[in-house]
Amino acid sequence: MIVPRPLLLSLFALSCSISFAQLDLEQRLKKLEAERSSMEEQRVRLTARVDSVKLAIIRRDLERIGLPKLEPGDEVITHPGHLLVYSEKHEQPKWTAHIATPDLITGNLARIDSFLPDPLVKTGSAVTADYWNSGYDRGHLVPSADMRWNYDALKATYYYSNISPQVPELNRETWADLEDWGRRYVNFSKRRVFVITGPVLRDGLPTLQKADRKNEVSIPELFWKVIADLDGDQPKAIAFVMRNTKLDGPPISFAVPVDSVEKLTGYDFLSSLDDAVEARVEAARELKDWYAEGDPNFGEVEPLRAPLPKGMINSVQAKYHIGKTTTVCGTVVSTRKTAKAKAIYLNFDRMHPNQEFYATIWEYNGPNFSYDPEVWLLNKKVCVTGKLTIFDDIPRISINNEKEVVLYEDAVR
């Protein structure tokens, strides 16, 4: 078959047009990718400049507002996101100071876990050989998670000048919960907090006993943390003291006024405040002020302080009495009725699903109550008696009738 010449020319032209169009698309793609790469490089550079200014503000405000009053011989060591004073005698920080900012909410840098001697400690800091296989965790005083928004600030939290020996059960449990507690406030309030942390150091403390150790690292008996919201017209602060051992209970069980830590350590905190304001802030222990709107833990309260009278136990102790018939006391902070089983759940001291103990009233036992327990028991301190069982790792007691529920004030009479 012979194709007419005009048709051949048209087909050739069409083919060339398609080829040029395809080439044009590829060139456009390369150009756009180059533009995107350039914009990403600009974003990275701009982010670094923004972070640099943010960190400079943190250091400025720590020096101006948030450091303990310096004592003779104190030398402040400055890192990108925190400041500290190092104790050569005990080979760990006397204290660290940092600001937990809302940047931690979106920070997503991974843990580094590369612990290093601090090059800024003139006398030399502790080293890996002092801790490795010692039986103690390398406990961060400035939490690395508070600095996951900036690599340089994060890296500095892994210097041994920020590390103190903590038993694993403290470091990984209650102390970690306390750090999370502080971050929750920042997260839900969108406010920054000043945080000062340290061990209680004294003469005669035991040291990490390792044959290959390079330094004599003291093992503290106590740790403390001061958290302060100093921005605005209503400054507030709260402090915590924890023994260096396995602890039971939520962090708020270990809350104290700031002036208690001053007496314990001899340090002077919040000295930049007006004297009258400082006295008020340091004497306060208002836990409810540290739960911002939207916090799922809003409404939790401290477990009743053990030991309780008459052999009764609190919600934290319940896990040690599984299988026994006993009386558990606490505050009913939330109640709920399940749609399927129509059972009433009474959560003690902490909100669902973080409660350490709860009581259940099954639907068939509802007629044994002259009141609606879902409504009437809410926010009351009560004691419930029955056999402790466990479900999904949470202790519980099933209540059969209202005689098994007594107001705490009546139970202790």
Distances (CA, A) of 383 to 33, 89, 263, 291, 386: 67, 50, 36, 26, 10
Q: Does 29 reside within a domain?
A: no
> Are residue 319 and residue 178 in the same domain, yes or no?
no
> Are residue 115 and residue 242 in the same domain, yes or no?
yes
Number of separate domains in the chain: 2
Q: Does 44 reside within a domain?
A: no
CA torsion, points 276, 280, 282, 283, in degrees to nearest 10?
A: 130
Distances (CA, A) of 210 to 136, 207, 250: 11, 9, 33
Structure tokens given for 183: 């971050």
> Are residue 317 and residue 273 in the same domain, yes or no?
no
Put simply, whether the predicted model's pTM sits higher than 0.95 gets the answer no
Q: Does 12 reside within a domain?
A: no
> Are residue 204 and residue 348 in the same domain, yes or no?
no
Torsion over CA: 267, 269, 272, 274 (sign): negative
pLDDT in tens, 171-190: 999 999 999 999 999 999 99
> Are residue 75 and residue 200 in the same domain, yes or no?
yes
Q: List the CATH number of the domain containing 212.
A: 3.40.570.10
For the chain, what is the largest distance between any 2 Cα atoms, rounded to a whole number of angstroms?
115
Q: Does 190 reside within a domain?
A: yes
pLDDT tens digits, the chain, 413 residues: what are they? 565 666 555 655 555 555 656 678 889 999 999 999 999 999 889 989 999 999 999 999 999 999 999 999 999 999 999 999 999 999 999 999 999 999 999 999 999 889 999 999 999 999 999 999 999 999 999 999 999 999 999 999 999 999 999 999 999 999 999 999 999 999 999 999 999 999 999 999 999 999 999 999 999 999 999 999 999 899 999 999 999 999 999 999 999 999 999 999 999 999 999 999 999 999 999 999 999 999 999 999 999 999 999 999 999 999 999 999 999 999 999 999 998 888 999 999 999 889 999 999 999 999 999 999 999 999 999 999 999 999 999 999 999 999 999 999 999 99
Q: Does 254 reside within a domain?
A: yes
> Are residue 240 and residue 329 in the same domain, yes or no?
no
In sequence order, what are the residues at sequence separation of 6 or more whose Cβ sits closer than 8 angstroms to the Cβ of residue 307?
none
In sequence order, what are the residues at sequence separation of 6 or more whose Cβ sits closer than 8 angstroms to the Cβ of residue 78?
59, 120
Tell me which amino acid residue 203 is. Answer: D
> Are residue 157 and residue 221 in the same domain, yes or no?
yes
**Extended strands (E) in 321-364:** 325-337, 344-348, 358-361
Q: Which domain holds residue 141?
A: 66-290
